[in-house]
Structure formats: C-alpha cells, structure tokens
Amino acid sequence: MIGKDGRARDILLEDIKKMLPAEVVLAKVSLKLWHKNHNKLIKEIAKKLHIRLASQHLNLPRLLEQLPSTQTTVLIFDYFDAIMDRPDQELDKKYDLSFIHTINHIKDMDAIRVICVTKYAHKNHTFRGNTSPLVLLPEDIRPLNYTELEHAWKRFLTADWHTYLLEHHQELRELTELAEKQTDVVKWMEWMAERICYQDLREKKKELLENLKTWHNEYKKKFERNGNRKVLDANQGIRKQLKLWGIEKAINPFIEMVKAISSFLTKKS
C-alpha cells in the first residue's frame, strides 16, 4: 500500500481494521519502532495474535506456523520503508533476505493476508545487495475526489453541523473546494471541523462563510509557514487530559474538552 505519511493514511488503516469481520484476527506493527530489534517485532506480532513463542523461535516463519489454519489473519507492516531504506548498519541483522522472502511467501498462503505500507513502490530498489526483493502487488492510495471529500465531512463534524452543511450547499462547496487544495487534507479537515463545531449552530451559522477564510489562514500560518516543520498537535494533550477524566474516546477532542470543563464548572457540590 503506497502513500505518503499523514493522517489520511492513518485513517485509511483504521478504516480497514473497522471493516474486517469480527472473526478476522489483525496485527498491525510499525517497522519504524522495531527496525533495530527484530525479536521485539516478532514478540509484538505474537502478542497481538495471541501466540506464544519460545525465545529460540523468534522468527517470522515459526510464528506463521503457529497460526490456526481455520483462522483468517491479517498482518499490516506499517512504515515498511524503515527497513527498506536504511543502511545495513542501522538495521538488526535479522532483517535479511529471508525475512523479505517470508513476507513474499505470505501472499501464496490461504488464510493469511499481508499489507506492507510504504511511501513509494520499491521497484528497482536495493536491499542487502539485492535488487527489488519485495514482490507484492502495489496499490496506490489515491487522493480523495470532490464527492468523497464531501462525504468525509461526516467523519469530523457533529451530526447537527453535518446536517446543516448538507442543507447549505454554498458553505459545503466552499469547504470542500478548499479541502481539495490541501497537501494533508485530513489534518486540515480536522482543524476546520473543530472550529466549526465550537460555534453555536443556532447563533453562529450566519458567520460560517466569513470565518472559513480566517480559520484557513490560521491553519496556513501554524502548519505551512515553515514548510515541513513539525508542530505539536494540541489534540494529543487534550486527549490525555480527557482520559484522566474518564473520557476514553473523543471523536472531537476539542469539543469534548469544552463539554467536560463546562460539566465540571456547573456540577453541584
């Protein structure tokens, strides 16, 4: 699966997980975390697949042998570039051609599926002195088209605001046309949705179009002023605080934070 890093790719992987039937067992691991420790990668996969492996059997072929033939298993290796693109001296030596060949072999197995997520296709790529050892079917993650972006607002907005946009085509068109122009469209949509939903639907909807330009300019100033400069996501801090308050899942963390604070302030002693 080929696509640049970003929230869009993350959400696609989340959607894949949600779409799988309940009986399918999935293990998603990041090679970015384990490129220097092959054994910990195998332990992480085994843990997610509920498999016990002896320390002398920490390798992918032995792990695959332990999988029940009656069970459908999906393995997702995220950030596979972390081993394909690194110099040999920065990798655990157990990431060798045998490891890659085992992954290639999975595609021929009946009850196991494998997805390697990368930024680009590794065609004519050299790994451990060999050219193009990874021979899986490449599938590009294409950008969302206009219609798909329109539907995507439902993910980020509250039900009331989404209904409002469906009934007010000018605002929906304005938002979606702006979304089409973004390099990290999901990140931008999350940013805009938080600001839209913070408004009172009854009192502020007339100002929506006026505010879109302001919010968009704020986004550009914060995230695009210095090119690819990394900016800390305030949502992470908000989500951590929400968990401390017992709110485990927050579709829109900014709004949940506001609600939680409001509830705390109005709570009778």
Residues 11 and 125 in one domain: yes
Give the total number of structural domains in the chain: 3
Give residue for tokens 């300019």: 217
**Residue 137 located in a structural domain:** no
pLDDT tens digit string along 35-73? 999 999 999 999 999 988 888 888 999 999 999 888 899
Task: For Cα atoms 16, 106, 61, give the angle at the middle one, nearest 5 degrees.
Answer: 120
Residue where a domain terminates, one of 71, 96, 131:
131
Residues 63 and 23 in one domain: yes
195 CB-contact burial (10 Å; exposed 0-12 / middle 13-18 / buried 19+) = middle
Residues 119 and 170 in one domain: no
Residues 208 and 255 in one domain: no
Residues 209 and 172 in one domain: yes
CB 67 within 8 A of CB 112: yes
Check residue 145 and report its DSSP letter.
-
Residue type, 57: H
Which pLDDT band holds residue 239 (cuts at 50, 70, 90)? Answer: low
pLDDT, position 36: 93
Residue 168 vs residues 151, 189, 209: alpha-carbon distances, Å: 14, 18, 11
Residues 162 and 205 in one domain: yes
Average pLDDT over residues 116-120: 90
Residues 26 and 101 in one domain: yes
Residues 26 and 121 in one domain: yes
212 CB-contact burial (10 Å; exposed 0-12 / middle 13-18 / buried 19+) = middle
Give yes or no for residue 189 having a pLDDT over 80. Answer: yes
Residues 89 and 120 in one domain: yes
Residue 115 vs residues 13, 23, 77, 193: alpha-carbon distances, Å: 10, 18, 6, 31
pLDDT tens digit string along 152-163? 899 899 898 899
CB 49 within 8 A of CB 113: no
Average pLDDT over residues 9-16: 83
Q: Which domain holds residue 164?
A: 146-224
Residues 113 and 35 in one domain: yes
**Residue 140 located in a structural domain:** no
Give yes or no for residue 205 having a pLDDT over 50. Answer: yes
**Residue 217 located in a structural domain:** yes
Tell me which of 105 and 264 has the higher pLDDT.
Answer: 105
Residues 100 and 154 in one domain: no
Check residue 90 and report its DSSP letter.
G
Start-to-end C-alpha separation, the chain: 54
